[in-house]
Amino acid sequence: MRACKNIRAVSFDCGRTLYYEVEEDYVVFHRVLQRLGYKFELTEVQKALDSARLWWNRVKAKTGEVWNEDSWARLLQRMASNLAIQNPDFIAMQLRDCWLSEAEFRAYEDAVPTLSELRNARFKLIAISNVSSGKNLKTYMRKAGILDYFDAIIASGDIGYEKPHPEIFKTASKVSNIPLDCILHVGDKYEEDYLGACNAGLKALLIDRKGTHKDKQCPKISKLTELFCFL
């Protein structure tokens, strides 16, 4: 992809593109459960969460349901049931609230310098993420120290469409008042981010930090600062 002179906004996937979780989810849940008085082994919590995620994947494949706050609660209820915890509905709400408070998110070293330079160059910045809600996404971004850089935040759980569906990208265009073909999208997933953005009419780059997408024939960068070569 050649440099695109008409780009007026850059949209980003969030998790594993701009920031990452410091600990695995099951580690945080294990710590929360211990504090609530449950003495499970770490591997028990991991297996219970993995099983709940497999259940959700089956539900999603069958129904096409979009991940949102309700499905997040149901997954945690399933995890609590897998651990044979009584009153799993109540425990699930505690787990959800405590996880949001305790989970740590850290920006990649290239994230803040890139976002800062883009803002200084007067590009609009948009976050487009397959997450349960915009409220939670803002919490993740705030913890990673990048929230204030963004002009618009689009969460799939709020609008009912997930990447690679074109509607999530069209929503970003409408909210930011920037035409689709004037937005460059950057993300780490080939189908969701690169193909999804291209099919919706955006320009796109695949960020491949670890060289795992060498087989993909598309414009790739290994760090965020490289995206300036395409602007």
Neighbours of 100 (CB within 10 A): 15
Q: Is 4 within a domain?
A: no
Let me know if residue 61 belongs to a domain.
Answer: yes
Backbone φ and ψ of 187, nearest 5°: -160, 170
Q: Give which of 153, 149, 114, 156 is closest to 132, Cα–Cα.
A: 156
Q: Give a yes or no: residue 1 inside a domain.
A: no
Residue ending a domain, among 60, 80, 102, is 102
Are residues 92 and 140 located together in one domain of the fold?
no
Q: Give pLDDT, residue 3.
A: 60
8 Å CB contact between 114 and 227: yes
> Which residues have a Cβ under 8 Å from the Cβ of 135 and sit 6 or more positions away?
none
Beta partners for residue 84, in sequence order: none
Is residue 214 included in any domain, yes or no? yes
Global pTM value: 0.95
Residues 111 and 201 placed together within one structural domain of the fold: yes
Asked whether residue 58 is domain-assigned, the answer is: yes
Instruction: Say how far apart CA 95 and CA 3 lie, in whole Å.
Output: 46
- Residue partners of 85: CB distance under 8 A and separation at least 6: 38, 91
- DSSP-based three-state secondary structure for 221: strand
Task: Count structural domains, the chain.
Answer: 2
- Domain boundary, last residue among 83, 102, 121: 102
* Domain of residue 168, residue span: 9-21+105-230
Measured torsion, CA atoms of residues 161, 162, 167, 169, in degrees rounded to the nearest 10: 140
pLDDT digits (tens, 9 = 90+) for 80-118: 999 999 999 999 999 999 999 999 999 999 999 999 999
Q: Indicate if 52 and 120 belong to the same structural domain.
A: no
For residue 122, give the CATH number of its domain.
3.40.50.1000
Position 185, amino acid: H
Show the low-confidence residues of the chain (pLDDT under 50): none
Are 148 and 224 contained in the same domain? yes
Tokens encoding 168? 């999530």
Token pair of 10 as six digits: 């850059």
Same-domain status, 135 and 36: no
Statement to judge: residues 51 and 145 lie in one domain: no
Q: Are residues 162 and 76 in the same domain?
A: no
95 plus 151 within the same structural domain: no
- Residue that is written with structure tokens 């591997």 in the block: 43
For residue 207, the SS3 value is strand
Same domain, 96 and 137: no
If asked whether residues 120 and 206 sit together in one domain, one would say yes
Residue 2 falls within a domain, yes or no?
A: no
* Distance of alpha carbon 62 from alpha carbon 57, whole angstroms: 9
Considering 47, 72, 102, which residue would you say is the last residue of a domain? Answer: 102
- My answer on whether 97 and 152 are in the same domain is no
**In this predicted structure, what is the pLDDT of residue 4?**
65
CB 66 within 8 A of CB 162: yes
